[in-house]
Amino acid sequence: MAMHVFRTKSVEQTLAETGEEGRTLKRNLTWWDLSIMGVAVAVGAGIFSVGAQAAAFHAGPAVIISFLIAGVVCGAAVMCYAEFASMIPVAGSAYTFTYTTVGEIVAWIIGWDLILEMLMAGSVISKYWGVYLNEFMRLMGWGVNSNITVGPLNIDVAPIVIVAFFTTLLVFGTKIGARVDGAMTVLKIAIVLFVVVVGFFYVKASNFTPFIPPAEPASAVEGSAVAGDVLNQPLWQWATGMTPSVYGVPGILSGAALVFFAFLGFDVVATASEETIDPKRNVPLGIGFGMGLIVVMYTLVAIVTTGMVSYKDLAKQSSPSLATAFELVGADWAAKIISFGIVLGLATVVMVLLLGLTRVVFAMSRDGLLPRGLSRTGKHGTPAGLQIGVGLIVALVAACFDIGVLSDMVNIGTLSAFTLVAISVPIMRRKRPELPRAFKMPGNPWIPLLIAAANLWLMLNLSVLTWLRFVVWLVVGFAVYFGYGYRHARLGTGELG
């Protein structure tokens, strides 16, 4: 069995599966749809909060460097995705790519990680959509609330409503969902840019000094999670016996690991390759253009946030955000605009995560690693039953459970996928050099290997607790794979020619 778990599908087998009757997705997305989809999922509440938190508790004004590091690493990684997507335009993203290169067991791990990433992110963001919707209604003085009490349960119906809305759109067609999502995303971008422009009028050069604050023990910074528990310490600091610290160069690196959450989404975009018109051209173009927009927007927000108020003042707040910066300079009116922007931002994120989660499960089901019935498509060219099932799970988890901040869990799933996709580029170049590639990652093999190392380094800057949870998730995944997936995989049963 040891050798069989590394069995690989050929590119020809993978492409042939897309024409299987009853399991075919409809191609109707353009490069612009993919760009907006990437921006939609990456620009959520994080653009208004993650940067401020990273500045306050990790890097100070040098959070700008943290964003640039995360942006460069993520941008380089998604270009590896672009090479594979231009060559293998099939649903499943990193799962599909690694199945053709590294082997089935690694593909399963990646698929399992992607399910964790998107299920947790979808549930958490749906939950917070309800929280921010209630906050927005409170700020507007409307006196209404989305929470209802049923016996002993307190249920927030807002996550159910937003998940049901986008699930319905996706059942009737990915293009319809993309159009609605696109309109909301354009409005969201306009709000972000407006807030940034206004914020520049409050920027003071003195707040950027010192640009890289000297490193200090985490215990000296009030509100720092690292100070409270060794489990929240970055793994590499714990492994080397280093005293937990913030700011300085270590703070810039841990800040980069934190804000990497801000770039979540471009692996989700790659899951839509099979639904894209002329994917060999449009997938790399859509991913590249969207990534450029994201880097610019996040960097501008980081400059404004740290320029408006001192990072020390942000660190005194329990949950600092861009809205906090405006409040500290007396511009309370901005809170309403930012709150509306967050409501819009989170809504668009929900749709793309629902799409991405469904497409990963769809691809794994079509290969037999999960029950084949999940990959049936209907008259609209979408896996309607699976989409509804995913929507129900996400909505119920978001509505009924008190979900903590799981951004680190989402990060480790994304980074592990990015690492293996980058490693897979030189492997596939060596195995199948003759395959046509509309886009090629430059500097093979050294740049892809450096990208893999950079992603691994960011993983090591995540907390010990995150790694422990990740190991538990992987153990459960191995149990499912050896209990079901290995024995039912179509590649192993001989169903794939």
pLDDT in tens, the chain (497 residues): 445 888 888 888 888 887 777 888 888 888 888 888 888 777 765 677 677 778 888 888 988 888 888 888 877 887 888 888 778 888 777 788 889 888 899 899 989 988 887 888 888 788 878 877 887 887 777 877 777 777 777 777 888 899 999 899 888 877 777 778 778 888 888 888 888 888 888 999 999 888 888 877 766 555 555 544 566 677 766 777 666 677 888 888 878 877 776 676 666 777 777 888 888 788 888 888 888 888 888 888 888 888 988 888 888 877 777 777 888 888 778 777 877 877 887 888 888 889 889 989 999 999 999 999 888 887 777 888 999 999 999 888 777 766 554 556 667 777 887 888 889 889 889 988 888 887 788 888 999 999 899 888 878 877 788 888 888 889 999 999 999 999 999 988 877 65
What's residue 405's pLDDT? 46
Side chain identity at residue 122, one-letter code: G
Q: Total domain count for the chain?
A: 1
Q: If you write DSSP's letter for every residue of 286-336 in order, what string do you get?
A: HHHHHHHHHHHHHHHHHHHHHHHS-HHHHHTSSS--HHHHHHHTT-TTHHH
What's residue 167's pLDDT? 92
Please, are residues 311 and 212 in contact by the beta-carbon 8 Å criterion?
no
* 27, two tokens: 């191609």
Beta strands in 352-494 (DSSP E): none
**What CATH number does the domain containing 409 carry?**
1.20.1740.10
Q: Is 152 exposed, middle or buried (0-12, 13-18, 19+ CB in 10 A)?
A: exposed
Side chain identity at residue 279, one-letter code: P
Side chain identity at residue 394, one-letter code: V
Phi, then psi, of 243 in degrees rounded to 5: -65, 130
Whole-model pTM: value is 0.78
Return the number of other C-beta atoms located less than 10 Å from residue 221's C-beta: 21
Return the number of other C-beta atoms located less than 10 Å from residue 343's C-beta: 24
The residue range of the domain holding 388 is: 4-493
Q: State the pairing for strand pair 147-150/153-156.
A: antiparallel
What's residue 255's pLDDT? 82
What's residue 386's pLDDT? 93
**101: helix, strand or coil:** coil
Q: Smallest Cα–Cα separation from 159: which of 106, 187, 195, 123?
A: 123
Side chain identity at residue 79, one-letter code: M
Alpha-carbon dihedral angle through residues 137, 142, 147, 152, given to the nearest 10 degrees: 140
Alpha-carbon distance 266 to 409, whole Å?
Answer: 17
Please, are residues 293 and 285 in contact by the beta-carbon 8 Å criterion?
no
Contacts of 138 (CB under 8 A, 6+ apart): none
For 74-91, give one letter per residue: b (16+ CB within 10 A) or e: bbbbbbbbbbbbbbbbbb
Q: Is 219 exposed, middle or buried (0-12, 13-18, 19+ CB in 10 A)?
A: middle
What's residue 222's pLDDT? 53
> Residue 341 belongs to what H/E stretch?
helix 334-366
What's residue 406's pLDDT? 53
What's residue 409's pLDDT? 67
